[in-house]
A and B are shown apart, each in its own frame.
Chain A
Amino acid sequence: MTDLLATKKLNVKFRSRGEIIHAVKDLSFKLSDDEVLGIVGESGSGKSQTVLSIMGLLETNGSATGSCLFADKELIGLPSGELNNVRGNEIAMIFQDPMSSLNPYITIGKQMSGVLKRHTRMGNKEIKERCIEMLDSVGIGKPQERFDGYSFELSGGMRQRVMIASALLTNPKLLIADEPTTALDVTVQEKILDLILAVKERFKMSVIMITHDLGVVARTCDQVLVMKNGELQESGNTEAIFYSPKADYTKELLKKSKEINLKEQQKYTETQDPSIKNSLVKSTNAKVNFVLPKKALFSAENILTAVNEISMETHEGEVLGIVGESGSGKSTLAKTILGLQKLSSGQVEVFGERLSEINKKELKEIRKKMQVVFQDPFSSLNPRMTVFEILKEPLDSFFPSMTKESAQKDIEDGLMEVGLTPEYLGRYPHELSGGQCQRVAIARALMPKPQLLICDEAVSALDASIRGEIIDLLLRIKAEKKLTMIFIAHDLAVVRKICDRVIVMQSGKIVEQGPTEKVFFEPEKEYTANLLSAVPVPDPKMEREKYIKRVQAK
């Protein structure tokens, strides 16, 4: 095998406000024909800047030095006219955010045709045929119609397929995929990754796959580069990296992701009788409808049922997980339990009170026992309030007669409990990191000493390493305070790690519910099974088996 791409001492630097940021340091690697190379690292590792520099797509304040030979042609420093003959033609690229990577103002067909007009001498008719053929081959239904349609009519997964179709038009030798599935739901991710592998085989390409997810690497890559702070930590073939890592950083990364991904399989045994337990939340046929804006003046009202006839219970002392993909209604259900969203029909009982039948004062009494932590650490704290004011607010409203001294003490204790020191009291949210903000949000939720804590995607917006810390914190607090928790997430690994019982939701309905181990290892419904197997795990052998199974199933 020959080298398709070889970089030598590649450096990327940015000038920003007089400072020089060294984003990629002396990176050398090789890529052979027909090979999938993964570049993995956390945010700020320089993995994206590496490929952007190869493609000549750095921001204007960035510059690349060193060498990058593509089919014996030097790419670094190549004049843009010549570079344009390579990119989009021999090297194609797809990006993380399919929502904004396609131009919403011109038709999909026009965007795709542009590539062929630039790089080939095909006639208009031929171009159209080729585009439609490509759309068809990436699994887009009604390619004729889509050709004349716009990108905003499509879902995220479909848009990524269109991106892939555009990339394939010129039969490139190399496809660069920069976090291609990060913004997508896990079942969609599976399909897109499979598609990339399939077209790689069919068009005999090499692929560079940039990702932060070791599971994605295990699933797709032959070779791996591990990067941290712009430096190469380790490189080698995938199995070597996963089964006998050498660099400390790689070991650490693997340990963290295995911790939540590959828990020892336990055979589920029923140990407790749930009927003894007191139920804190109980919903019967709960239904929430949203009226969507009308499309035309006289058209019928569009009703979206976000929560559809949900009946569930939360028992005292348990951690209940609610999982589902975007649009499954899991967050709406949480808002309904919190009394932030009105029910359209059915009943929700919280601490024995029916939410639809109580007045404001009674609702306040219930809320004292029930608190929430939201997803976005920044938008869940008021930017104009200090940490002290944020923590004091629930005390003021729930315990108006509390003395200043004991409030001060409670606030300081509360902050210590989540691992922050009292010096943070005077700070504003924008002076804190994401993880610290989330700790403050947890401290605020604990101020009224609740019995039930609802976490709505509380760790989803955080980097992997910080996510682990916050999960540990929640588990510790749960044990110390004997809390009951409802944990809403789309990340199955996290749910599996901390939940006793799981509810799987899809399009507003409960698909399946039961003890975590049972749902995870003996799922009854196909949807649950698919959802579970779609999650990429950091184990190349296991992923290969899964892939072969999927291909055979087709």
Chain B
Amino acid sequence: MPTLLILICLAFFLVKAAPGGPFDFERSLPEEVEANLRAAYNLDDPVYLQLAKYIGNLLQGDFGPSFQYRDYTVTELISTGFPVSLRLGVAAILLALFFGSLIGSVAALNQNSKLDYGVMFFGMIGISIPNFVMAPLLVLFFSIGLKALPAGGYNGGDFYHMILPVVSLALPQMAYIARLTRGSMIEVLSSNFVRTAKAQGLSTRTILLSHVLKPTFLPVVSYLGPATAAIITGSVVVEQIFGLPGLGRYFVQGALNRDYTLVMGVVVFYGCLIIVFNLVVDTLYGFIDPKIKQNR
């Protein structure tokens, strides 16, 4: 919670401090906009009151009016864009999580085999190729080359239109999760308590399910926070490339057009989202790791 407050304050003062910013009225702004802004940000009040009122508005879900899309408030823009982004992001993270842990586990169980080396090599490629490079390459191959999948557009979010965006968003995270899982599982497999379980005559299946699984995926669970942040960031470019009407696209448009209120609104919105998600992950982690549970 204090993080959230700092985030909002930081964003607020950044906007105030910016040269040529929205509160720098040396530039000629249309009268109506200026009046709107003055009203929206209570510019005639002292700074602390302005901040307090801004936070108050945020609490009511009011991010203020947009600079560029004059007929819309930032809140309206967020509520149109976010569902698209959410759909994309959730699909990508589920895909990355499922295949990442699967591939990583298979590699760990076949440690030092050719399969393992292959997986790790492709994992490294996955980490190294950013999604804004991966996405056009996939389009070049699957859409322009094979003509198998659409190159862009939302089309109401149907399955075929979502494949390439989701895959290119998920790939780097999938690679990272695979490497993480592999490293973690190898460490657990060589631990003394697994040796104990073997000495007790438990079958490999039982050992994996009841002894190995949980400690292996603890680091993966704690990576979920950063992974979400990375997916959100990635969605910005992926939406841009595939022309999806998501929040990221509004954000980039806003940034390029200096739509300050929109940019700030989106930053605060995503900030809240990431912070809340981190809280959820922490709680989840606490439920899985008995050592943390004890300390509560």
Contacts and interface: CB of A to CB of B under 8 A. Distances in A.
The answer to whether A and B come from one shared complex is yes
Interface in A94-112: 95, 97, 100-107, 110
Interface in B188-214: 191-193, 195-204, 206, 210-211, 214
Contact of A88 (B201, B204, B294): B201
B289 interface: yes
Given A103-B211, A114-B210, A118-B200, A57 B291 contact: no
B35 to A, nearest CB: 48
Given A100-B191, A118-B206, A150-B294, A105 B214 contact: yes
Contacts of A295: 295
Contacts of A87: 198-201
Tell me the dominant secondary structure on chain B's binding face. Answer: helix
A475 B192 CA distance: 40
Interface string B140-151: 000000000000
A51 to B, nearest CB: 10
A84 B193 contact: no
B214 A102 contact: no
Interface string B154-197: 00000000000000000000000000000000000001110111
Contact of B290 (A83, A119, A150): A150
Give the one of B191, B201, B210, B294 with max A CB within 10 A. B201
Nearest to B203: A84
Contacts of A101: 192-193, 195-196
Contacts of A110: 210
B221 to A, nearest CB: 12
Given A57-B195, A150-B290, A153-B294, A106 B211 contact: yes
Interface residues of A, number: 35
A118 B289 contact: no
Which interface class (under 10, 10 to 19, 20 to 34, 35 or more) fits B? 20 to 34
A89 interface: yes
Contacts of B196: 93, 95, 101-103, 163
A163 B196 CA distance: 9
A86 interface: yes
Interface string A269-296: 0000000000000000000000000010
A104 B289 CA distance: 9
Contacts of A118: 200-203, 206
B295 A97 contact: no
A106 B195 contact: no
B225 interface: no
A93 B203 contact: no
Interface string A69-89: 000000000001101111111
Contacts of A95: 192, 195-196, 199
A114 B195 contact: no
Contacts of B195: 57, 95, 101
B295 A106 contact: no
B215 interface: yes
25 contacts: A55-B199, A83-B201, A85-B201, A87-B199, A88-B200, A93-B196, A93-B199, A95-B192, A100-B192, A101-B192, A101-B196, A103-B193, A103-B197, A103-B211, A104-B193, A104-B215, A105-B214, A105-B215, A106-B210, A107-B290, A115-B201, A115-B202, A118-B203, A150-B290, A153-B294
